Amino acid sequence: MAYELNAAQKRAAESQSRNSLVLAGAGTGKTSTIVARAHHLINSGVEPSRIQVLTFTRRSALDIQRRVSNEASSSVKKVRASTFHAWCHSLIRSNPQVFGYREWSLVDGSDQQSLFALVRGKRKRGTFPTAKDLQGAYSFARNTRVSLKEAVEFKLPDFIDDFAVIAAICVEYQKRKASGKYLDYDDLLEIVGTRLEQSGEAKSAIASQVDHLLVDEAQDTNPLQWTILRPLVDSISLFAVGDDAQSIYGFRGADFASIHEFKDRVSDAEVFRLQDNYRSTQEILDVSNWLLAQSTFNYDKELRAVRGKGLLPRYELFRNQYDEAETIVDEIQDKHRPETNPWNDNLILCRTNYQARPIEAELLERKIPYQFIGGTKLLESAHVKDLLAVLRVIANPFDELGWARFLLMYPGVGEVRSSKIVDSVLRVAGKNDEGDDIGGSEPPEVASRRYPLGNLAHHPLMPGAAVEVLEAVWEVRFDVAGAITTALRHLEGLLENRYQHEHWDARKRDFDSLIMLAEGRSSILEFVEEYLIDPVHISQVRPSESDCVIISTIHSAKGMEAKRVFVTGVQPGNYPHERSVGRLNDIEEERRVLYVALTRAQNELILTGQLRSSLSYGSINTEDTDSKDQDALSDASYANLLFFLAELPKKFVVRSVEGYSRASSPRSLGGAQTKDAPTLRLGPEVV
DNA sequence: CCGGACAGTTTTTTT
DNA sequence: AACTGTCCGG
């Protein structure tokens, strides 16, 4: 945004108070104010390296870093912006003696899930929480700092009778986590928080590096993150920016009301408010304001557009997701002009990752460059995980999950045989490692030197080929790209066989990307960790043009903006998501999700949805309710819970149904039957 | 015990 | 598309 700070922004950015809270609505210049604050501090003599910006998503970290770097003065570039997790990660890695963790591997969510699955055993689905549920409840307990019991009551009320078993599984999970020398994402925060509570040493270690913390999206700070911030407040000055109406991370333990407690937690904080919206036209804000006003909660927000009037938002309904995708891409393609209407004027927002698929397919087919934020990450894809399993066990011989993944690739090795081998491997590794607990004092290389290769080869069940790979990769372990190449050379046949019917060519290209990324790296652990903390998306790795259409989940889109924004899947069952129905707080969070989506748009806002969805669209809007189970829906306010826009006044949007026909490009992904009707019906019969 | 084949289900959101 | 559950032959 190229505008000067307004008076309110300037006051906040130049605050003389030790601690400040800036309450800033959507589009009121939150990020600009943070960047300006950094600028102001530097101009007042603060070392840039002593300013740390903390964000929630990597996207905003990147965004702030980018905007800071655009500043003319090179000193500003030394300001660091990272996520809470990335910051804690670097603290733990760079101060092993303070935090007490030396040898460990970071594991991502899917590894956590696999470990839970292992511990959970073969209980039937439906009779016991899934591995994912267990991980969710466990993580929720840690992030909100409530007991496991409370978390299970809240997240898995149906399984509260099984609490004793669930608790035992979580204990076992922690045990396995310790013996695998794993730290999960929550550990990163918890270790820093716990050390800060326990010892002044941690506090002074951090204070010796940082004087100013600038916290973005403070409404999403969860209790675990507060355990990090709170002890620091007396030695570090805190500048927090947030908006309660944009709190959408409740599932991760954030409480949107907590921003109101900021003054209690940080008693001397000065509060600033930013209300003028510079991003959008008034019509876009009208819909957004209406949405919030419908809530039973009082957000007390009424965004005003400094820019004034513009186009009326559109709301278009289609027969299915393919028509929806096709029409969106049609419009993007039609309006594209390299100089004046670049691809990146377009932002397509989806509620969930998988809802982006048809759009991705359509863009791919027409060879329109795009970037999918929040899509599958390279290191999360199955084939990459398979290949990296070799490197994982080289870097950390205690890595149970890595061993299992590696061994299962071999024909003839299944669950039973793999776990037999893993058991004895871990025993051998443990013997070589006696007395060297996590937090021991030896540097990581020592453990590497003891890698129990000799014993492995003698295991009767170990496939001979597996030993060969390990030995070959072991030789080149300090050249990560070389290690991956070596592993691939040995395993390509196996992988090709396994994935031959599942886009093998695309997967093969991912390996090339991976090797490219690893070029010049000398530490496997560092390489893997860097990309777990700051992952590269598959669509990013390909030599992508800088100008491209952006697809994003709404959660990943916080802080983003674009001239033209499409919000997809705007239909009952999605907003609010059907899984949240029944829990008022969750529904309210869903409202805020939609609010965040709407307020991304600068000039054009297009809402799209499908007529057919799991919840019948008509039953909500038509007066003649036909089925008996609709009794509960007769109440208008309940209908509103099922679809936020059910009662959207007509004046706010231009509506159309079934899209519009286009003379050109009669292509369809969804089958031939979808494109014959050139109907454009504007009217009151829908919505 | 392993793996292939098949059918059915199931997808919130992020670090 | 990926994961689960089940059955069966080697």
The CA distances from residue A463 to A124, A421, A428, in Å, are: 32, 10, 17
**Helix count (H) and strand count (E) of chain A?**
29, 17
A329 with A363, same domain: the answer is: yes
Nucleic chain C contacts, protein chain A, residues 369-388, CB cut-off 7 A: 381-382
Residue A680 forms part of a structural domain: no
Phi, psi of A673 (to 5 degrees): -75, 0
Which nucleotide lies at the shortest CA–C1' distance from A419? B1
Residue A386 forms part of a structural domain: yes
A499 with A611, same domain: the answer is: no
The CA distances from residue A272 to A11, A25, A237, in Å, are: 8, 11, 16
Residue A2 forms part of a structural domain: no
- The pLDDT tens digits of the residues spanning A65-90 come to 878 777 656 666 678 889 999 999 99
A640, two tokens: 């509103």
Q: Name the residue with higher pLDDT: A616 or A636.
A: A636
Distance A479 CA to B13 C1' (A): 37
What's the CA gap between A594 and A553, in Å, rounded?
A: 11
Q: Identify which of A399, A625, A642 has the alpha carbon closest to the alpha carbon of residue A524.
A: A399
Which letter does DSSP use for residue A609 in this model? E
Average pLDDT over residues A433-459: 48
Q: Which residue is nearest to nucleotide B1 (CA to C1')?
A: A416
Neighbour-count burial for A465-479, b at 16+ CB within 10 Å, e otherwise: ebeebbeebeebbeb
Distance A417 CA to B3 C1' (A): 13
In the chain, the amino acid numbered A460 is P
A206 with A232, same domain: the answer is: yes
Average pLDDT over residues A196-220: 91
Range of the domain at A91: 7-95+187-278
Average pLDDT over residues A339-360: 92
A297 with A257, same domain: the answer is: no
Per the rule left: phi > 0, alpha: psi between -120 and 50, beta: everything else, A45 is left
Evaluate if the CB of A613 falls below 7 Å from strand C.
no
Evaluate if the CB of A361 falls below 7 Å from strand C.
no
Domain boundary at A134, A155, A180, which? A180
pLDDT higher than 50, residue A676: no
- The pLDDT tens digits of the residues spanning A647-658 come to 888 889 988 887
What strand order describes the sheet that includes A654-657?
A370-373, A549-553, A346-350, A562-567, A601-610, A314-318, A654-657
Evaluate if the CB of A117 falls below 7 Å from strand C.
yes
Which letter does DSSP use for residue A274 in this model? E
Strand C nucleotides within a 7 Å radius of protein CB atoms: 1-5
Average pLDDT over residues A303-325: 91
Which secondary structure element, helix H or strand E, spans residue A52, and what is its range? strand A51-55
Average pLDDT over residues A52-63: 83
Under 8 Å between Cβ of A129 and A160:
no
Evaluate if the CB of A227 falls below 7 Å from strand C.
no
Domain boundary at A536, A566, A587, which? A536
- What single string gives the DSSP state of each residue in A510-532? HHHHHHHHHTT---HHHHHHHHH
A273 with A332, same domain: the answer is: no
Angle formed by the axes of helices A131-144 and A163-179, nearest 10°: 80
Q: Supply the pLDDT for residue A187.
A: 96
A352 with A394, same domain: the answer is: no
What's the CA gap between A458 and A266, in Å, rounded?
A: 61
A327 with A203, same domain: the answer is: no
Distance A124 CA to C6 C1' (A): 13
Residue A682 forms part of a structural domain: no
What's the CA gap between A264 and A251, in Å, rounded?
A: 24
What's the CA gap between A355 and A351, in Å, rounded?
A: 7
Strand B nucleotides within a 7 Å radius of protein CB atoms: 1-4, 11-15
Under 8 Å between Cβ of A361 and A669:
yes
Whether the bond into A576 is cis, omega within 30 of 0: yes
Per the rule left: phi > 0, alpha: psi between -120 and 50, beta: everything else, A239 is beta
A676, two tokens: 């014959």
Under 8 Å between Cβ of A314 and A682:
no
Under 8 Å between Cβ of A564 and A314:
no
| Length of chain A, in residues | 687
- What single string gives the DSSP state of each residue in A543-574? T--SS-EEEEETGGGTT--EEEEEE---STBB
Q: Supply the pLDDT for residue A564.
A: 96
Residue A687 forms part of a structural domain: no
Neighbour-count burial for A178-217, b at 16+ CB within 10 Å, e otherwise: eebbbbbbbbbbbbbbbbbeeeeebbebbeebbbbbbbbb
A137 with A51, same domain: the answer is: no
Average pLDDT over residues A452-467: 74
Average pLDDT over residues A245-269: 86
pLDDT higher than 90, residue A329: yes
The CA distances from residue A275 to A24, A31, A278, A289, in Å, are: 6, 14, 9, 13
Q: Name the residue with higher pLDDT: A300 or A178.
A: A178
Q: Which parts of the protein come within 7 Å of strand B, by CB position?
A: A 56-59, 83-86, 108-109, 185-186, 248-249, 251-252, 351-354, 374, 408, 410-418, 533, 553, 555-556, 577, 579-580, 586, 589-590, 593
Domain of residue A344, CATH code = 3.40.50.300
What's the CA gap between A67 and A190, in Å, rounded?
A: 30
A396 with A355, same domain: the answer is: no
Lowest mean pLDDT among A261-265, A385-389, A404-408, A489-493: A261-265
What's the CA gap between A70 and A519, in Å, rounded?
A: 27
A368 with A386, same domain: the answer is: no
The CA distances from residue A222 to A154, A228, A250, A260, A669, in Å, are: 16, 10, 8, 13, 42
Tally of structural domains, chain A: 4
A385 with A434, same domain: the answer is: yes
Average pLDDT over residues A347-371: 90
Domain boundary at A180, A197, A213, which? A180
Angle formed by the axes of helices A200-207 and A185-198, nearest 10°: 110
In the chain, the amino acid numbered A260 is H
Distance A411 CA to C8 C1' (A): 19
A213 with A169, same domain: the answer is: no
A147, two tokens: 């007991």
Lowest mean pLDDT among A35-39, A405-409, A590-594, A662-666: A662-666
What's the CA gap between A534 and A522, in Å, rounded?
A: 18
Distance A303 CA to B9 C1' (A): 44
- The pLDDT tens digits of the residues spanning A511-555 come to 988 898 899 999 999 898 888 887 666 665 554 567 889 999 999
Q: How far is CA A276 from the centre of its chain?
A: 29
Angle formed by the axes of helices A357-365 and A321-335, nearest 10°: 50
Q: Supply the pLDDT for residue A510.
A: 87
The CA distances from residue A623 to A54, A237, A317, A642, A686, in Å, are: 50, 58, 20, 16, 12
- The pLDDT tens digits of the residues spanning A167-180 come to 999 999 999 999 88
Mean pLDDT of chain A: 82
A577: three-class secondary structure by DSSP: strand
Q: Supply the pLDDT for residue A539.
A: 61
Distance A117 CA to C6 C1' (A): 20
Under 8 Å between Cβ of A272 and A8:
yes
* Residue A257: pLDDT band with limits 50, 70, 90: confident
Which nucleotide lies at the shortest CA–C1' distance from A86? B15
What's the CA gap between A672 and A170, in Å, rounded?
A: 51
* Residue A15: pLDDT band with limits 50, 70, 90: very high
Residue A679 forms part of a structural domain: no
Domain of residue A385, CATH code = 1.10.486.10
Q: How far is CA A458 from the centre of its chain?
A: 43
The CA distances from residue A571 to A350, A533, A580, A629, in Å, are: 12, 34, 15, 20
Cβ neighbour number for residue A388 with a 10 Å cutoff: 24
Rg (CA), chain A: 27
What's the CA gap between A191 and A228, in Å, rounded?
A: 9
Distance A505 CA to B5 C1' (A): 24
What's the CA gap between A591 and A570, in Å, rounded?
A: 12
Distance A188 CA to B1 C1' (A): 40
What's the CA gap between A242 and A215, in Å, rounded?
A: 8
Residue A268 forms part of a structural domain: yes
Q: Name the residue with higher pLDDT: A247 or A444.
A: A247
pTM score: 0.85
